[in-house]
Amino acid sequence: MYIYIMSKISLTSILFLAVLLFGITTLSAQNISLNKTSTLIQPPYLKAGDTVAIVAPSGILKNRIGEIEKAKSLLKSWGLHTVVGKHVFNQANHFAGTDDERCEDFQNALDDPKISAIWCARGGYGAVRILDKLDYTKFKINPKWVIGYSDITALHSQIHNEGFESIHAMMCTSLQDDTETIKETILTFKKALFGNPLSYTLKGSSYNKTGVTSGELIGGNLSILQTMLGSKTSMNTTGKILFIEEIGEYKYHIDRLLQSLKRAGYFNNCKGVIIGDMTKIKKNTTPWGYSIEQLILDVLADYDFPVAFNMHAGHAKDNRALILGRTVDLTVNNEQSTIIFKN
């Protein structure tokens, strides 16, 4: 009888521990991207005399010397100094140098206490290949703004999970366009960089899902957000307002990306969604049948948070700056929407 009771107690204990461990494992898998800090750290805003590093962590910069020179001139006109990464113009097939070379430039900029901001020269593809090589130890002692969009979403996600704000804004290659045609792009980039008040009034849309909410702004390129799923670089969306943009995809592919995020629980605890530019959507031989706006709303139909369309941010010329990780107040109506960044 004694042995039977002890065996029963032992079996019960084992079962309890198994359930507990399973629960912890499941919780860890679902929340792999929980931030180490609840409030993100804001790097110091720039001031005249500060230095910006230009690096190329992604695609090749072929015949782009002119844009880099324009970027240096723009920064100089704001009273800023510039250093250009040693490997920026290297060519390694698709990339601006080998993974190690691109990582070296980015790491040097992260580590250098004299650098106040890191401005990515272009996107394309390649940032994900250096994520696991980067060390943020010195960056955390001397944090700085990391700036870019598109493929740079991978770095924004990593920096967010390290507990810091970053800036979704134009890159050096944006200066291939006449500066007169991208005035707001440049102006809002400067505002974000120097700490001037930032707010937007968006054109209304009949597709808007109305409401009022507040939360940390996260997000970026839809394809990159989806490819981060299941990794330590995927962000925790709980209580956050998600911004998404995309370029050059078929509608069915955008649906696939959104459905993948939905099935992973990405939208379950969001406070709101802001839709940026969906640029150069490809036409399939079999028509999708309705608008990109309706496609997005169909995916988000199960949620009651507000959804705002017509944010000018992404791959269009009018690419306005967003401070990722910053709390914003979002008000969405059919007539207009407003986004106000809190200081």
pLDDT in tens, 291-310: 999 999 999 999 999 999 99
In which order are the strands placed within the sheet that holds 166-168? Answer: 81-84, 51-55, 115-120, 145-148, 166-168, 322-324
Choose between 2 and 75: higher pLDDT.
75
The predicted pLDDT at position 249 comes to 98
Burial of 36 (0-12, 13-18, 19+ CB in 10 A): exposed
Burial of 174 (0-12, 13-18, 19+ CB in 10 A): buried
Residue 6 pLDDT exceeds 80: no
pLDDT in tens, 54-68: 999 999 999 889 999
